[in-house]
């Protein structure tokens, strides 16, 4: 019975080499003859409940705390290179380290930021003065998370759509990330409206997210579930609502089928907006109304937090939309997990110059505080720089 009570993450940490399916197979063999087939779902839930369930719920609730959100700084080396190139810097490990060090060591950041999503390099990296980046985050009261997907590739048999890789070896990778100090994870897959979306692409995206979420929970990491509906396209807001509703319905169906504990996940949706090329723009109030209606019809209240991505909106637009969503109480914590909408002014202020680090950290605090106020519905656009109102949409953007 001891083996049944052990999660696969625990098994890995103790050096027991069992594939997930073999492990569940073992668990099933403990059942009474004839009862096994009908108890499959109970068995896998019991296995997880004996492992990390309480900790997962506690972690998710710590990330989803009032007035705080997530700083996404998990750009792959290639994407980080594009960010550095925008301020004339080479994509070297030293430059990535200097930039990430600036972000994580911003004094007082933990007042507004509860979690930071890292790329693998940063999870294992030190600052220039020899301190682990994750310890600097911990000193700031920020929980480290880790991007675990392996990026997007073409989905053969679809209408030029893509799917997200990374399930192979995910159990052992997540066990190692937990050991290193990560407590939550992120998997970003995308859905393109102009390219369909086909049923194949939606099913693949939802199934991949559900398998990822299940594996993360077995290994102690709270999964952030992120099916990004890309801004590309000339469609209006009603079309986005229709697609988002279809996608989230499928995602929750497969999350349930995979016995994912809803209390121990976080969501990272796109806001429901018109396509980037649609001439008819939507006010923050309209975006809030559409987005919240869609989520209330699809997301159970047991989910602790909804942490939006910014997706190419300007810094101010992303903050205004979040603020509009927090004008009345919601069933879940409604907050942010922005990359571009937190980092854009920071990069432009820093310019790679050591003498600009302090000013860049102040710029980060300005954005983090603005979004913190938006999380409690008390943000005002007054005094925002023109720069922060510039959209950042780029077609085909990847992480």
Q: Catalytic site residues?
A: 226, 268
Q: How far is CA 247 from CA 82, 177, 269, in A?
A: 30, 29, 10
Decide whether 264 or 311 has the Cβ nearer to ligand 13P.
Answer: 311
Instruction: Decide if residue 112 touches ligand 13P (CB under 6 A).
Output: no
Closest CA to 321 of 194, 219, 231: 231
> Which SS3 state, helix, strand or coil, does residue 397 take?
coil
- Binding test (CB under 6 A) with ligand 13P, winner from 47, 56, 68, 74: 74
Tokens of 144: 């480290």
Decide whether 8 or 323 has the Cβ nearer to ligand 13P.
Answer: 323
The number of residues in the chain equals 399
Of residues 146-175, those binding ligand 13P (CB under 6 A): none
12 contacts 219 by C-beta, under 8 angstroms: yes
Of residues 239-298, those binding ligand 13P (CB under 6 A): none
Decide whether 218 or 226 has the Cβ nearer to ligand 13P.
Answer: 226
Q: Is 213 exposed, middle or buried (0-12, 13-18, 19+ CB in 10 A)?
A: buried
Determine the interface stretch with ligand 13P among 12-20, 176-184, 306-314, 350-358 (rule: CB under 6 A): 306-314
Question: From start to end of the chain, where are the E strands?
Answer: 69-73, 113-118, 143-147, 152-154, 162-164, 184-191, 222-229, 266-267, 305-308, 333-338
Nearest distance from C-beta of residue 24 to ligand 13P, angstroms: 31
Count CB neighbours of 114 within 10 A.
Answer: 25
265 contacts 225 by C-beta, under 8 angstroms: yes
Decide whether 48 or 186 has the Cβ nearer to ligand 13P.
Answer: 186
- Binding test (CB under 6 A) with ligand 13P, winner from 148, 309, 316, 360: 309
Tokens of 382: 């007054």
Nearest distance from C-beta of residue 338 to ligand 13P, angstroms: 4
* Contact map string, positions 324 to 363, toward ligand 13P, x by CB under 6 A: --------------xxxx----------------------
Decide whether 110 or 269 has the Cβ nearer to ligand 13P.
Answer: 269
Tokens of 93: 């490990």
- Binding test (CB under 6 A) with ligand 13P, winner from 8, 114, 310, 314: 310
Nearest distance from C-beta of residue 186 to ligand 13P, angstroms: 6
Q: Give dist(CA 87, CA 79) in Å, integer.
A: 13
120 contacts 146 by C-beta, under 8 angstroms: yes
Cis before 197? omega within 30: yes
Of residues 208-237, those binding ligand 13P (CB under 6 A): 226
- How many amino acids of this chain bind ligand 13P (CB under 6 A)? 14
Nearest distance from C-beta of residue 69 to ligand 13P, angstroms: 11
Instruction: Decide if residue 143 touches ligand 13P (CB under 6 A).
Output: no
Distant-in-sequence, close-in-space partners of 40: CB < 8 Å, separation ≥ 6: 28
> Which SS3 state, helix, strand or coil, does residue 336 take?
strand
Nearest distance from C-beta of residue 226 to ligand 13P, angstroms: 6
Determine the interface stretch with ligand 13P among 131-139, 291-299, 304-312, 373-381 (rule: CB under 6 A): 304-312
Instruction: Decide if residue 117 touches ligand 13P (CB under 6 A).
Output: yes
* Contact map string, positions 175 to 204, toward ligand 13P, x by CB under 6 A: -----------x-x----------------
Instruction: Decide if residue 72 touches ligand 13P (CB under 6 A).
Output: yes
Phi, psi (deg, nearest 5) at residue 167: -75, -35
- Binding test (CB under 6 A) with ligand 13P, winner from 212, 262, 311, 367: 311
Decide whether 105 or 310 has the Cβ nearer to ligand 13P.
Answer: 310
Helices (H), 30-132: 40-49, 53-63, 77-85, 93-104, 120-123
Catalog residues that contact ligand 13P under the rule CB under 6 A. 72, 74, 117, 186, 188, 226, 309-311, 338-341, 399
């Amino acid at each position: 019975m001891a083996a049944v009570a052990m999660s696969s993450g625990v098994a890995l940490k103790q050096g027991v080499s069992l594939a997930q399916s073999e492990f569940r197979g073992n668990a099933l063999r403990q059942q009474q003859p004839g009862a096994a087939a009908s108890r499959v779902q109970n068995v896998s839930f019991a296995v997880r409940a004996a492992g990390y369930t309480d900790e997962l719920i506690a972690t998710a609730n710590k990330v989803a705390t009032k007035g705080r959100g997530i700083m996404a700084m998990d750009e792959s080396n290639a994407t980080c290179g594009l960010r550095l190139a925008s301020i004339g810097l080479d994509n070297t490990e030293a430059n990535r380290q200097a930039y990430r060090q600036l972000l994580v060591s911003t004094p007082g950041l933990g007042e507004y930021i509860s979690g930071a999503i890292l790329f693998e390099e940063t999870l294992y990296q030190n600052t220039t003065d020899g301190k682990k980046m994750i310890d600097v985050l911990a000193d700031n009261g920020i929980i480290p998370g880790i991007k675990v997907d392996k990026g997007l590739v073409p989905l053969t048999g679809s209408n030029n759509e893509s799917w997200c890789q990374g399930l192979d070896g995910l159990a052992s990778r997540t066990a190692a990330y937990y050991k290193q100090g990560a407590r939550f994870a992120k998997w970003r897959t995308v859905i393109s409206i102009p390219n369909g979306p086909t049923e194949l692409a939606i099913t693949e995206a939802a199934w991949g997210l559900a398998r990822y979420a299940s594996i993360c929970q077995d290994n102690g990491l709270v999964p952030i579930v992120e099916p990004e509906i890309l801004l590309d396209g000339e469609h209006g807001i009603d079309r986005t609502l229709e697609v988002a509703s279809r996608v989230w319905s499928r995602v929750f169906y497969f999350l349930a089928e995979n016995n994912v504990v809803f209390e121990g996940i976080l969501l990272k949706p796109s806001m429901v907006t018109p396509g980037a090329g649609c001439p008819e723009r939507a006010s923050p109030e309209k975006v809030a109304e559409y987005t919240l209606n869609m989520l209330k019809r699809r997301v159970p209240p047991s989910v602790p937090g909804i942490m939006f991505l910014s997706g190419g909106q300007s810094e101010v637009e992303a903050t205004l939309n979040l603020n509009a969503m927090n004008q009345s109480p919601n069933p879940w914590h409604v907050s942010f997990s922005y990359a571009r909408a937190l980092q854009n002014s920071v990069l432009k202020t820093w310019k790679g110059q050591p003498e600009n680090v302090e000013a860049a950290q102040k710029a980060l605090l300005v954005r983090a505080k603005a979004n913190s106020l938006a999380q409690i519905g008390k943000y005002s656009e007054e005094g925002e720089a023109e720069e922060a109102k510039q959209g950042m949409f780029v077609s085909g953007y990847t992480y």
